[in-house]
Structure 1
């Protein structure tokens, strides 16, 4: 009988499900996020309780057989949120523990190849967020930015912004996933909170942001518009480097 291991959506939850797979010597199992699970009479559903100790043991076991880069691939693939990625990761781990040699670069295996491709897509999205995030100063004295990336890359962005903006308080909020990273001049931490998309509304801007900030945004937009040389405009090249789906982050695109 096939088992469906249902976890809470966290990376530690996924690793806890992997631990359960080995602990109970299962032959056939799929791992599914709770939000994506559906009742079935054909399989045995098992809800997995996240256990940080067990998750750590799985990760420690992987560290003995998989390189740092290989473990990064697993984590980045997880952050893709592709519905079937958990089973690809389980396949990767099963092959790792059953092989005497490294399998992380065995691209003859289509699932290993898939994890490699997905992790690269997530990495590209991470670097685009590094480049395109724009902060605005709130009335509370916090530099604030919103994002809605295709993949859940915010945990990967933490160190970049912590180093780059170490002298100011900031909050980057993922509108799609309803959580953010807050830096208080000492440490950065993931926080869950509800912020409405209306925070980006131009008509409500002064509710959230300082007058000086709004003047600066407008001046920057005017400068950008006037500094363009129409005869040298290459929209195809421009879109290649800054795809349209990222324009909503850029104040110069709003004027």
Structure 2
């Protein structure tokens, strides 16, 4: 049995799958660097080095086996970052290569069913981020937004925002994972920002002087359109869970 360690990237994951087939490994556990690794008494440890050629071979082979939506589900499940989800991906992908017709629909298998269920959860979070992200204008005319999604959905929303806000510079920063996506009017790139101590304490960017006025207008609008007599907090929370409220302009105190 082998305990495998990889760099935590999607290409690294595909490389791991390639080598597990190549060397016929029986895998006991998979870890991302620099996670703490629990050594097994009779298990060998191996570090997988990301190889783009091997990763591409696995991806191209999967494209021959699965429709685009099922391919997308695999990537979404990887982005879920659920503990040891790599083991589920490995066993499911191994089954996909078994020669069974339409293997991604074999929901009688627990790993295939779990792939579908988790992909739906990640997709739901992706849709919520499209709806709940609130930009604020910064002093240098950069539009910034802070998010803390349950899953790592930034790679899934970058095209949506680059298409929708192609005429302005913006930054969407995942404070939970400490990285963001930045659009410079030409392309989107992943960035990490060394925030000041003031930001770390208050989670506020350097806003443009007019931003507070626009924020107050937005909050007043929501206050005016709210019909108190028809308030249904339970239903509202179902659509807008409380964990998102801290980054929603309309939920801040006037």
In the TM superposition, 1:81-96 aligns within 5 A as 81-96=81-96
Corresponding residue number in structure 1 for 2:222: 224
Q: 1:96-125: per-residue Cα shift (whole Å, max 9, x none)?
A: 112242210100001100110000000000
Corresponding residue number in structure 2 for 1:211: 209
Corresponding residue number in structure 2 for 1:102: 102
- Whether the aligned pair in 2 keeps the contact of 1:76 and 1:123 (CA below 8 Å) is yes
TM-score of the pair, normalised by structure 1: 0.92
- Whether the aligned pair in 2 keeps the contact of 1:79 and 1:151 (CA below 8 Å) is yes
What is the CA distance between 1:217 and its match in structure 2? Answer: 0.9
- Whether the aligned pair in 1 keeps the contact of 2:4 and 2:27 (CA below 8 Å) is no
Corresponding residue number in structure 2 for 1:236: 234
Determine helix, strand or coil for the equivalent of 1:81.
coil
Partner Cα separation in structure 1 for residue 100 and residue 225 of structure 2: 60
Larger mean CA deviation between 12-21 and 28-37 belongs to 28-37
What is the CA distance between 1:140 and its match in structure 2? Answer: 1.5
- Whether the aligned pair in 1 keeps the contact of 2:29 and 2:84 (CA below 8 Å) is no
Corresponding residue number in structure 2 for 1:42: 42
Determine helix, strand or coil for the equivalent of 1:211.
coil
Determine helix, strand or coil for the equivalent of 2:134.
coil
Corresponding residue number in structure 2 for 1:24: 23
2:168 is equivalent to residue 168 of structure 1: yes
Partner Cα separation in structure 2 for residue 228 and residue 101 of structure 1: 52
Structure 1 residue runs of 5 or longer lacking an equivalent are none
Partner Cα separation in structure 1 for residue 100 and residue 235 of structure 2: 47
- Whether the aligned pair in 2 keeps the contact of 1:136 and 1:145 (CA below 8 Å) is yes
Determine helix, strand or coil for the equivalent of 2:223.
helix
The number of residue pairs the alignment matches comes to 252
RMSD: 1.9
- Cα pair distance change 1:249/1:166, threshold 3 Å: same
In the TM superposition, 1:236-255 aligns within 5 A as 236-255=234-253
- Whether the aligned pair in 2 keeps the contact of 1:17 and 1:31 (CA below 8 Å) is no
Q: 1:182-202: per-residue Cα shift (whole Å, max 9, x none)?
A: 111111122233336954876
What is the CA distance between 1:6 and its match in structure 2? Answer: 0.6
- Whether the aligned pair in 2 keeps the contact of 1:178 and 1:195 (CA below 8 Å) is no
What is the CA distance between 1:32 and its match in structure 2? Answer: 2.2
- Whether the aligned pair in 2 keeps the contact of 1:145 and 1:172 (CA below 8 Å) is yes
